[in-house]
Amino acid sequence: MSVAKQASLPAAAPAPSGALVDALWRRGLERVVYGVAGLALFIVVWRLAYVYGWAPRGTLPDPLSLPSALFQEIEAGRLWPAAQSSLVHYFWGLGIGTFLGIAFGLAAATIHRFDLLQAYLVRLLRPIPPLAWVVFAIAWFKVSHTGAAFVIAIGVFWLNYFATYSAVRSVDPRYYELAAAFGHNSYFARAWTVVLPAISPGLLSGVRAGIGQAWMTLIAAELLGVPGMGQEMNAAAGVGAYDAVVVYMLIISVVYTLCDMLFLAFNKWVLQWQP
């Protein structure tokens, strides 16, 4: 290997010292200890609120009754069908809203005339909350997965649209000049070689926000009759089974946490080129 080639190779990253490893391990342990302590304190305050009636009697369940409430929902055959139903329109709505939001945001930020064409339309439609579309979702798609996915997609769309639009607008114009110098003059060549790599951190932040937004929109849509965990929560609240309501809330939290962890791993893999 020539000296020039050797000089062009990046220097190997130094191995972490033992002191650094110990410091990272202590920091991770400290985070876990404080996190568990915070959860324990929250449960203690919740238990005290239940025992001393800080909330209207009958509306706050005993945290110690949640395991039995969970098993009751499983034995009654309500939990798994509701969770599966929710996941169907969740992933459809998330996928459609994410794809369209990124596509329209990219087009608006990179095509000047399209940006002008849609600017006032965006200002008109953006303030309308996703739940306002539930009436039309029911009228167009009845009470179905399609209607719920439609409402979810609207909420996810705007997060990804603005995240993509802002990320593209913040790209350094000198990158386009560099791409032109290497012959990447067409729209798709610039988008592939310059825009997408430059906006990937901001774009992925929008996708991550959409993962959480989709759950909030989904549950609200299901409260109006779409089958899923939101409908089961509404039915349980109607008979005063607030422990079952909390069980579904915790299931939603666990599923979201798993989705977020998987996406963070994907995000780290995609952005491994970052220092």
> Domains of the chain: which residue ranges?
19-60, 63-270
Q: Say whether pLDDT at 97 is over 90.
A: yes
Identity of residue 27: R
Global pTM value: 0.80
Q: If you average pLDDT over residues 20-34, what whole number do you get?
A: 78
Provide the CATH topology of domain 63-270.
MetI-like fold (1.10.3720)
* Mean pLDDT of the chain, nearest integer: 84
Gap between the Cα atoms of 160 and 157, Å rounded: 5
Q: If you average pLDDT over residues 12-31, what whole number do you get?
A: 68
Question: Per residue in 132-148, pLDDT tens?
Answer: 898 888 889 888 888 88
